[in-house]
Amino acid sequence: MANAPAALSSAPAKSDGPILKMTGVSKRFPGVRALENVHLEVGQSEIHALLGENGAGKSTLLKILSGAHSADTGEIELFGQPAAFATPHDAQRAGIVTIYQEFTLAPDMTIAENVFIGREPGSRLFISWRRLADDTRAITDKIGLRRDPMTLVRDLSVAEQQLVEIARALSMRSRLIVMDEPTSALSEAEVANLVRIIMTLKAEGLSIIFVTHRLEEVFRLCDRYTVLRDGHYVASGRVADTNVEAIIRMMVGRDVGALYGQRPIPEHGPVALEVEGLTRRRNARDPNAIELVNVSLRAHKGEILGLAGLVGAGRTETARAIFGADPFDHGTIRVDGKPVAFNGPHDAMLHGIGLVPEDRKKQALFLRLAIRTNITIAAHNQISRGWFIDEGRENALVDEFRKLLSIRMASADQLAGLLSGGNQQKVVLARWLALRPKILIVDEPTRGIDIGSKVEVHNLLIEMAKSGIAVIVISSEPEILAVSDRIVTMREGRVTGEIARDNATQEILMSMMTAHESGGPASAAA
Amino acid sequence: MSEARLEAAEDRGVDIFGFVARFAPTLFLIVLMLLFAIMQPRFLSEINLFNVMRQVSITGLLAVGMTFVILTAGIDLSVGSLLAFAGLVAAAVAKGGMENRFTVGEGGVGYGWFAAAMAAIAVGLACGWLQGLAITRLKVPPFVVTLGGMSAFRGAALLFAAGGPISGFQPSFTWWGQGKIGPVPIPVIIFLVAAFIAHIVLRYTRYGRQVYAVGGNPEAARLSGLNVNRVIASVYVIMGFFAGLGAFVLAARLNSAEAVAGTGYELTVIASVVIGGTSLFGGSGTIFGTVIGSILIGVLLNGLVLMNVSSYIQQIIIGVIIVLAVAFDTFAKSRRRKV
């Protein structure tokens, strides 16, 4: 199956072989092996689904393809010719354009300027605005973007902005368009429109690499697929020859439970945190924010509650709202049964709530400051005498958590930015454990850290729960099945279900995460 | 592989670029002093060295305050204007009003040096607080707020003094700028004591830690429960304090205050801080570095004067050095990020 020849459509083809062939691609980042001997073949007029869980290596592969990263080893062949892209510009010139989840448009420029940015028609000095508008309209009409080319991108919807990205790709005469989760922010109608456009492009002989978490789209749209897992190539083949269950098995692979051994679900204590009807609407100040609709959940003392969902499901937003980091419109939060209202993270901390944020480097660490500062920054009350920090107490605190979490560091004065990802995460966990929280929310606690550290972090979370903390884990990785005692799933800002660990499998979870409404697990297939 | 070796070195906690960055200004200062000493023997005379230090003391005081601001990744362009404004207020208080602005104070006229100093500091604190408020509440970038302050405080100074100087103070006032303890000029003592206190605050207090944290990563600081806005506003208040104190010392030294005092000081002050190794990106830097940076600029200017280099060329040199210092900081930062 892995070596099946590319299925080519009937469109006029220059050659019979694949237009893109990546062989033996490996890429290592410090401390992480992101890709190991990965293959990818895409034929002409083919819509190719690139599948895998978060962290499987899809993004790294796409970045190598688009020239943003360079591969350590491996070959790329484009139209049968060896190719190597040092910069995204090289890749674009060769006909590969990547549309990322985060658009790269300039919001205060017009559609036309964005489409032809850097390639505006006209003389050397002056832009010919009329030609710019005409050329843009010729492309936008084709893909059903009915807007004046002189409209500012800022005034477009997310779906329309995506069409501008596609128009830009077409204007570069690209042969292969890479779309990274193009449907994650779209409504059903907008997805239908996008599907129609993609089919038009396919009919014109373009090839598309399509990354998505929504498997129903794969079966609706794609010709072939390639599955990656943990940076390795797993399989590829014709979509028509497989089914949802088989693909999920390929993506998930191992039996996750076996990695941690069986652990009985603990008797949980009283409710520590109760969230009821949490709602946050989109507003003018933050039009791209993810909405939360009537989110309710409970976390018990001594229990690990998993919060599962796809990217953009609203899990992080829920956590931040609970922690007082973001405002919300409606809803009640109760800590130990008493309603609370937080005016910022500081208030939440006073009530014993902690949050280990999603992005370790951007939201949690002070990379250029010493490890000691990173560990004790939130615990100044414990280690100070008056205005002064008591170094003795500080050292004792740092030492306690260095041992408890086995943080590997040369000295507490070392800069946090020089630690490995796993040790950095332990430093952040130490910061919160030092506050002896009653409720600790950890958002993607093992993202980008090696497998050994992952297991250590998981065991830590389990220990925390044992000590009576109500732990809430947000994760897009299969770990959530192993670590959580109970799992609540979300999709598009809503809670879609709840399941105990003993009843949960990756397949059930996946279908709950992609379910349209609360209730029993729906099939992920269209 | 050199890359691998570097990585290994960093695993052991050796921060090569941090090490170089910490001692580069001191080394540069020593080299510069040796150079001037060889080329111009007068440079090393006691009189000249104290002269350099006295000249450094005013901008040095401001640079100590500026260090707090830049540590939070902010900037304060208004220091020169605020210095002039606060100096005039101090002078007016010392003279007991605007009527006898040119007389030499005698007997019961005026309110004495202490009231004058407090008035200057109060003006500095108030103006700094206003700017801090604009930055944190109105969300206007520090560059813009203090650019506005630069113009507004200069205007206030001109308005207050009706364009003219206020001069002639009592000896108890001028002692703070012209006096000496042993061979050491008072302004130098004030500068070094202030720097020492600031060093203690930044290095050993919880507030100091918070300044570094807010500058290093404001979002992480907020999610760690710090009141980021309060810390940011506070550094402009501290800057205002030092501007007020500096204004008092300057007026005492010159026995006069005028609305054009401190013109262009912002550049010298920011240069002192940056050359001293404080990152314009925030979160890294020391008062020790700032003291060295201030002295370095003082020595450079003094040496150039002794060697009869035109003051125009001096300005060019300062400009080039500030750009090089920031380039070094950016380089060191990008080198680290690769780890």
Segment B204-244, tens digit of pLDDT: 999 999 999 999 999 999 999 999 999 999 999 999 999 99
The Cα–Cα gap between A202 and A208 comes to 8
* Among chain B residues, CA nearest to A379: B224
Contacts of B21 (CB under 8 A, 6+ apart): B277, B328, B329, B332
Does residue B112 lie within any of the structural domains? yes
Least CB-CB distance to A366: which of B220, B225, B336?
B220
Residue of B nearest to A419 (CA): B11
Answer for the pair B277, B24: CB distance below 8 angstroms, yes or no.
yes
Cβ neighbourhood burial of B265 (10 Å; 0-12, 13-18, 19+): buried
Query: What was the pLDDT predicted at A365?
Result: 94
- Residues of chain A with Cβ-Cβ distance to B10 below 8 Å are 418
A-B contacts at Cβ under 8 angstroms: 95
User: Which chain A positions have a beta carbon within 8 Å of B13's beta carbon?
Assistant: 409-411, 413-414, 418
Higher pLDDT, A433 or A512: A433
Position B4 in a domain: no
- CB–CB contact B283 A414 (8 Å): no
- What is the arithmetic mean of pLDDT over A16-27? 87
For residue B310, is it within any domain?
no
The verdict on a CB contact (< 8 Å) between A344 and B222 is yes
Confidence of residue A506 (pLDDT cuts 50, 70, 90): confident
- CA angle centred on A67, ends A447 and A234, rounded to 5°: 55
Of B10, B11, B213, nearest to A377 by CB-CB distance is: B213
Residue A171, min C-alpha distance to chain B (Å): 35
Residue B208: inside a domain, yes or no? yes
Nearest CA in chain A to B202: A388
B269 Cα to chain A: minimum distance (Å): 24
* B294 token code pair: 């201030």
Residue in chain A closest to B338 (alpha carbons) equals A30
| Chain A contact set for B216 (CB, 8 A) | 366-369
- For residue A290, is pLDDT > 80? no
Q: Which two tokens stand for residue A25?
A: 């691609």
CATH number of A257-370+436-513: 3.40.50.300
**Do A436 and A430 form a contact (C-beta atoms < 8 A)?**
no
Task: Show the low-confidence residues of chain B (pLDDT under 50).
Answer: 1-14, 105, 107-108, 337-339
From the candidates A368, A385, A433, which should be mutated to test the interface with B, based on the most B CB atoms within 10 A? Answer: A368
Looking at the structure, give the CATH architecture of the domain made up of residues A20-251: 3-Layer(aba) Sandwich (3.40)
Strand-strand pairing, A330-335 and A338-340: antiparallel
Q: What is the pLDDT of residue B7?
A: 40
Domains A20-251 and A257-370+436-513 share a fold: yes
ipTM greater than cut 0.85: no
In a domain, B45, yes or no: no
- What is the residue range of B162's domain? 62-262
CB contact under 8 A, A418 and B216: no
Q: Using CA atoms, how far apart are residues A452 and B224, in angstroms rounded to an integer? A: 27
The two structure tokens encoding residue B120: 């200057």
Of A349, A362, A410, the CB nearest to B13: A410
CB spacing of A357 vs B13 below 8 angstroms: no
pLDDT, average across residues A78-97: 86
Which of B3, B205, B209, B280 to probe by mutation at the A interface, max A CB count within 10 Å? B209
d(CA A86, CA A68): 8
Distance from CA of B232 to the nearest CA of A (A): 16
Test A417 with B336 for CB contact under 8 angstroms: yes
Q: B148: which 2 tokens?
A: 């506005």
Average pLDDT over residues A247-257: 67
For residues B251 and B134, give the distance between their C-alpha atoms in angstroms, rounded to a whole number. Answer: 29
- So what's the pLDDT on residue A100? 82
With both helix axes pointing from N to C terminus, report the angle between A188-203 and A158-171 in degrees, rounded to the nearest 10.
Answer: 10
- What does residue A488 show for φ and ψ, rounded to 5 degrees? -110, 130
pLDDT tens-digit series, residues A471-486: 999 987 778 888 899 9
Count of the separate structural domains present in chain B? 1
Q: Is there a contact between B13 and A409 if contact means CB atoms under 8 Å apart?
A: yes
Residue A469 pLDDT: 93
> Under a CB-based contact definition with an 8 Å cutoff, are residues A37 and A12 in contact?
no
pLDDT at A92: 86
DSSP string, A408-419: --S-TTSBGGGS
Report how far residue B179's alpha carbon sits from residue B165's, in angstroms, rounded to the nearest whole number: 22
Q: Which residues of B touch A (CB under 8 A)?
A: 7, 10-13, 15, 18, 204-207, 209-210, 212-213, 216-217, 219-227, 279, 283-284, 336-337, 339
User: pLDDT for A196-233, tens place per residue?
Assistant: 889 988 998 899 999 887 777 888 899 999 999 878 89
Residues 6+ apart with CB under 8 A from B291: B60, B64, B192, B195, B276
Looking at CA atoms only, how far is residue B203 from chain A in angstroms? Answer: 9
Q: Let me know if residue B21 belongs to a domain.
A: no
Q: Per the domain annotation, does B39 fall within a domain?
A: no
Domain positions in chain A: 20-251, 257-370+436-513
On whether the CB atoms of residues A120 and A127 are closer than 8 A, the answer is: yes
Decide which of B145 and A35 is more confident.
B145
Distance from the B142 Cα atom to the nearest Cα atom in chain A, whole angstroms:
22
A338-340/A494-500 β-pairing: unpaired
- Chain B residues lying within 8 Å of A357, measured CB to CB: 220, 223
Identify which of A344, A355, A411 has the shortest CB distance to residue B13: A411
Confidence of residue A10 (pLDDT cuts 50, 70, 90): very low
B191 is a domain residue: yes
Nearest to B245 by CA among B110, B113, B77: B113
* Chain A: closest CA distance from residue B24 (Å): 18
Q: Which of A140-144, A430-434, A463-467 has the lowest mean pLDDT?
A: A140-144
